[in-house]
Amino acid sequence: MPDPCSVRKTDTSYLTFNYLNATPTIKLYDTIWFESRVNDTFYNRAGNDYVVSEQNYLYQVFQPFKIEQNGTSKTMNYANIEFNPIIKDGSFYNYYSSGFAYNFRRNKPYNYLKVGFIAGKVGMYIISMNNGNNYYYDYLSIYSSNDYCKTFYGLSYVPPTQRNLNYWDTLQVSSLGIVNGQSSHITKNSNNYILFKVIP
């Protein structure tokens, strides 16, 4: 059967997460807060096109890493046990991989999520995040309700002013990879993370 779409259109859309703490340093046992409200109208990054798509099953995954000195280089290591997750809006989600996963609370046409992480150990950390509406993929597939040939892919986005980018200068690197691994590579120009420091 021939493809009914002579041209398939794909684009990306940002799902904004706000880092609510006022400073890039967190005191031990204080809480790091994130909040998001996702509308069913998704604009592309250029802001000149959009897709309307109901999202009745939207989730978000947060993965904390501790930044460590590994010989002469700096690397990331999983830091799940260093944080205690809490929820103000949304619910926990039984996810198949590492990290902390949450379901958004649905109130049409919006999805809401507000979650926190209580810091349990001092150190320098990075939290990356991914979103989705499919158990097997770490991105949001957004299908147009009136255009079969148009699909957007939703990506988690933290505004640059909230990422605490000055810590890259402190670290003297422009990217971080996980210890002995190929995945979870984060660069200064990535959009889906925050850097922060937990102090006594």
Write the pLDDT tens digit of every residue in 48-80.
999 999 998 899 999 999 999 877 789 999 999
Q: Is the pLDDT of residue 102 over 90?
A: yes
Q: pLDDT class for 134, splitting at 50, 70, 90?
A: low
CA separation (Å) from 6 to 3, 38, 141, 149? 7, 31, 21, 8
Q: Where are the beta strands (DSSP E) in the chain?
A: 9-16, 18-19, 25-27, 31-39, 41-43, 50-52, 59-70, 73-78, 83-89, 91-92, 100-103, 105-107, 110-119, 123-132, 140-143, 150-157, 175-176, 186-187, 193-199
| Tokens 């978000």 belong to residue | 60
Q: By three-state DSSP, how is residue 9 classified?
A: strand
Is the distance from CB of 157 to CB of 16 less than 8 angstroms?
Answer: yes
More confident: 72 or 151: 151
Is the distance from CB of 99 to CB of 7 less than 8 angstroms?
Answer: no
More confident: 106 or 1: 106
pLDDT for the residue numbered 145: 78
